[in-house]
């Protein structure tokens, strides 16, 4: 499919600067642009490439001011990154979605399957499962008994849903995701052994949740481990039993959240962050990568860093001294020696 710069600008509600009739048929990185492709510039680090890119059309922020002539046609928009994401979504939708149920899939007769559903080879659908319209289930996925899946959800290959899992509309689960495995509950006994605490709850995902590859979310001991609408989780994240994550929170890879912690809405959590159990995190909190959060964060919009974490301004001021710690210790040793030499002798 080909699109003109004018059509792209109309779709994005932007303005064309250059040839409005130039056509593009594919997408490229700005530093590797080719004629007939569309690219974008959102990160200032890549500005140098716009002056010699061979891409025919480049999406830029409306306040972009070039320092040299730009050979490409520009489409100016309020937010180039978001605009480009919208175009990619349109491109993906244009590719079409899979439909049809493979005769190699194992589907229990008690399950209810919606319209225009795709179920791939060797998928297993348990008893009393409900699958909504236009949902896609890729090969080798296992969906346990009594699971409910909404409309327009995409479940990629090798996902495992334990029994009673609930998934909303327009969710995406990438390959290897496991939802509903047992929470880590073991009671220590007098004989130094551990008695397993039965995990009888479930996992609930609300609408428009996306979960990255190989992320795992444990079922609740009782009640639900709850992922609110719009949450985006990266790859290789571990979420323990009875955790609740507020709407539109985003969490980067390798983060671990211990049991019964409640994370607020619109939070942003960096990679490899760790949370102790039974914490409450306020709305709009930002947590830096590798931070260790061991206590409640009550301040809305707080930004924490370090392990144990504390406010980022304090961390940055302290870090200046961390780097100089060795020299500071040497200076203190020298001062102590001088003070000792200044002390009058007993004689």
Residue 19: what pLDDT?
A: 96
Separation CA 77–CA 22 (nearest Å): 18
Does the annotation count 241 as an active-site position? yes
Q: Tokens 């510039």 belong to which residue? A: 41
Sequence-distant contacts of 147-150: CB under 8 A, at least 24 apart: 150/207
C-alpha 83: how far from its chain's center?
Answer: 19
> Distance (Å, rounded) from C-alpha 323 to C-alpha 307?
16
**Burial degree of 25 (CB within 10 A; 0-12, 13-18, 19+):** exposed
Catalytic residue among 68, 174, 241, 278: 241
Q: In this structure, what token pair is assigned to residue 42?
A: 């959102």
Q: Which region among 12-16, 44-48, 56-60, 311-315 has the lowest average model confidence (pLDDT)?
A: 311-315
Tens of pLDDT, residue by residue over 240-250, are 999 999 999 99
Please report the pLDDT score of residue 34 as a whole number.
94
Q: What is the pLDDT of residues 198-225, one digit of tens each?
A: 999 999 999 999 999 999 999 999 999 9
Instruction: Sort residue 127 into left (φ over 0), alpha (ψ -120 to 50) or beta.
Output: beta
Task: Give the per-residue pLDDT at 328.
Answer: 85
Superfamily of domain 100-313: Hexapeptide repeat proteins (2.160.10.10)
Report d(CA 303, CA 312) in Å as an integer. 6
For the chain, domain boundaries: 3-94, 100-313
Q: Is the pLDDT score of 98 beyond 90?
A: no
- Tell me what percent of the residues of the chain surpass a pLDDT of 90: 81
Q: Is the pLDDT of residue 288 over 60?
A: yes
| pLDDT tens string 116-142 | 999 999 999 999 999 999 999 999 999
Confidence of residue 315 (pLDDT cuts 50, 70, 90): confident
Superfamily of domain 3-94: MurE/MurF, N-terminal domain (3.40.1390.10)
In this predicted structure, the answer to whether residue 60 has a pLDDT above a threshold of 60 is: yes
């Amino acid at each position: 499919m080909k699109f003109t710069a004018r059509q792209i600008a109309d779709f994005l509600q932007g303005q064309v600067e250059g040839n409005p009739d130039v056509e593009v048929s594919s997408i490229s990185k700005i530093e590797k642009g080719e004629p007939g492709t569309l690219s974008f510039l959102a990160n200032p680090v890549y500005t140098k490439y716009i002056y010699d890119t061979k891409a025919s059309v480049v999406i830029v922020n409306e306040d972009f001011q070039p320092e040299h002539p730009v050979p490409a046609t520009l489409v100016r928009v309020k937010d180039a990154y978001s605009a480009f994401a919208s175009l990619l979504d349109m491109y993906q939708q244009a590719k079409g979605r899979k439909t049809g149920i493979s005769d190699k899939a194992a589907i229990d007769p008690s399950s209810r399957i919606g319209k225009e559903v795709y179920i791939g080879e060797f998928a297993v659908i348990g008893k009393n499962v409900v699958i909504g319209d236009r949902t896609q289930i890729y090969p080798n996925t296992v969906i346990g008994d009594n699971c409910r899946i909404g409309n327009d959800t995409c479940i990629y290959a090798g996902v495992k849903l334990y029994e009673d899992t609930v998934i909303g509309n327009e969710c995406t689960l990438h390959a290897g995701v496991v939802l509903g495995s047992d929470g880590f509950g073991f009671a220590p006994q007098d004989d130094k052994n551990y008695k397993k605490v039965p995990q009888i709850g479930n996992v609930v995902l609300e609408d428009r949740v996306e979960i990255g590859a190989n992320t795992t979310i444990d079922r609740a001991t009782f009640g639900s481990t709850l992922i609110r609408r719009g949450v985006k989780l990266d790859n290789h994240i571990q979420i323990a039993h009875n955790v609740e994550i507020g709407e539109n929170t985003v969490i980067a890879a390798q983060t671990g959240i211990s049991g019964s912690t409640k994370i607020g809405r619109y939070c942003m959590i960096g990679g490899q962050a760790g949370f102790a159990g039974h914490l409450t995190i306020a709305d709009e909190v930002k947590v830096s990568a590798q931070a260790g959060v061991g206590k409640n964060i009550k301040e809305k919009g707080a930004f924490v860093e370090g392990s144990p974490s504390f406010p980022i301004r304090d961390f940055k001021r302290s870090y200046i001294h961390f780097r100089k710690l060795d020299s500071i210790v040497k200076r203190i040793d020298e001062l102590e020696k001088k003070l000792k030499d200044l002390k009058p002798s007993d004689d």
